Amino acid sequence: MPPLTTAQPTPLPHERARPLRPGSTYPARDLCSQCGLCDSRWVAYVRRSCAFLEQRFEAMEAEAHGRSRDLDDENELYFGVHQRMLTARLQQPITGAQWTGIVSRIGVRALESGMVDAVLCVQQDPEDRFTPVPVLARTPEEVLAARVNKPTLSPNLRVLEQLEGSGIRRLLAIAVGCQVQALRAVQQTLPLDNLYVLGLPCVDNVSREGLRTFLNSASRSPDTVVHYEFMQDFRIHFRHSDGSEETLPFFGLDTPALKDVFAPSCLSCFDYTNAGADLVVGYMGAEFGRQWITVRNPRGQRLLDLVETELDTAPVSSRGDRRAAVQQGIEAYDKAVRLPRWLAELVGLVVQRIGPKGLEYGRFSIDSHFTRNALWLRRHYPEMAQRHIPAFARRIVERYKLPTP
């Protein structure tokens, strides 16, 4: 990708565009993921930037990485353009991080090394740990204050509005896929000399209200949950404010109650592995307890270089065969089957022992979500399903038998 210049190929839309007022209808309407673009003057570019109005994966990948993904390469089909994949743990994990804190450590090192002037990241509301507060962090402390997921829709791009006059010319943006799609689309119009993008994989996000419904249905003590994650052992791990842990097998979820809990944006999203980021740090392609890193381009490698000596790394691995489990899951989800707890525990134990691991677990999760989302779109937005489902997702979905829309 050519370096950014101070030249503005398109004039900034200062005078023409005003951020949308709270309460006004966002252009993507029900499908809006509240990415924050429309709360900034870059709302002027919404028609060609919003992930829910126009999908432009191939162009985005070509601009960001120099080429689009090779659909005939099984790893690229699933995980996007990459030059390297590995698994890792921070040797000295960051207390309170979502996993071991690789993302926060990269943010800290990017500031300390002078690589960037600021890090776009998401702190939390002082009154509510799950309400996201996007910021342009200027110090390591401010980056660390953003550690741990806020598992709710976050208007990250809102803070683009603060760039002008801030003195920030080099930025590291930490963001999920829909935010990155919009960011990449306006990248050349931003008042920046350099932009690095550190992506998180993302799926099944919820509004703050949706999170309440989810926790009420899944946890024994919803009000004390401070952290949770769907992990590679097929269980949801909850941590409570008193430090205690609670786990629930995926198969024990109250599927009928949760069918409508995820945001419509996320039920129509196919950017699980964050196609446009330079570097992606998640967990689902790694064995239990480790993080999974995808380096998409040389800029991503430069980000990883900031912390690589602090990591305990290992190659990616893959075991098992996901396909039958995915097909059974499609049917069970569609019929909203809810297993009794004892059976859910039993199925969980068996799947944990013989189920997919490493990259195959990643493919299991991608297949399960892409098939569910394709079906949801065909049922709720049949007129847009064809153009909205990207080619790589269509190829994956075609491998399974879906119920009639």
101 makes contact with ligand FAD (CB under 6 A): yes
| Distance (Å, whole) CA 379 – CA 9 | 40
Minimum CB distance to ligand FAD, residue 179 (Å): 6
Minimum CB distance to ligand SF4, residue 263 (Å): 6
From ligand SF4, ligand FAD, none, interface partner of 283 (C-beta below 5 to 8 A by class): ligand FAD
269 makes contact with ligand SF4 (CB under 6 A): yes
3-state secondary structure of 315: strand
3-state secondary structure of 289: coil
Any long-range contacts for 94-101 (C-beta under 8 Å, 24+ apart)?
94/144, 94/147, 96/147, 96/148, 97/147, 97/148, 98/147, 98/148, 98/149, 98/227, 98/229, 99/229, 99/283, 99/291, 100/291, 101/147
Minimum CB distance to ligand FAD, residue 373 (Å): 13
32 makes contact with ligand SF4 (CB under 6 A): yes
33 makes contact with ligand SF4 (CB under 6 A): yes
- Give the phi and the psi of residue 194 in degrees, each rounded to 5: -150, 135
Contacts of 2 (CB under 8 A, 6+ apart): none
- Give the phi and the psi of residue 90 in degrees, each rounded to 5: -70, 130
From ligand SF4, ligand FAD, none, interface partner of 206 (C-beta below 5 to 8 A by class): none
| Distance (Å, whole) CA 282 – CA 286 | 9
Applying CB under 6 A, which of residues 81, 94, 211, 266 lies at the interface with ligand SF4?
266
| Distance (Å, whole) CA 52 – CA 30 | 10
Binding positions for ligand SF4, 34-93, rule CB under 6 A: 34-35, 37-38, 46, 49-50, 52
Applying CB under 6 A, which of residues 205, 255, 371, 373 lies at the interface with ligand FAD?
205
192 makes contact with ligand FAD (CB under 6 A): no
Query: Per CB under 6 A, which region of 110-118, 177-185, 359-367, 375-383 contacts ligand SF4?
Result: 177-185
236 makes contact with ligand FAD (CB under 6 A): no
From ligand FAD, ligand SF4, none, interface partner of 282 (C-beta below 5 to 8 A by class): ligand FAD
| Distance (Å, whole) CA 354 – CA 128 | 39
| Distance (Å, whole) CA 197 – CA 61 | 13
Q: Which two tokens stand for residue 313?
A: 């790394």
Residue ranges in contact with ligand SF4 by CB under 6 A: 26-28, 32-35, 37-38, 46, 49-50, 52, 153, 176-178, 182, 202-203, 205, 265-266, 269, 271
Contact residues toward ligand FAD (CB under 6 A) are 94, 97-104, 121-122, 132, 146-152, 154, 156, 174-176, 200-203, 205, 229, 281-284, 291
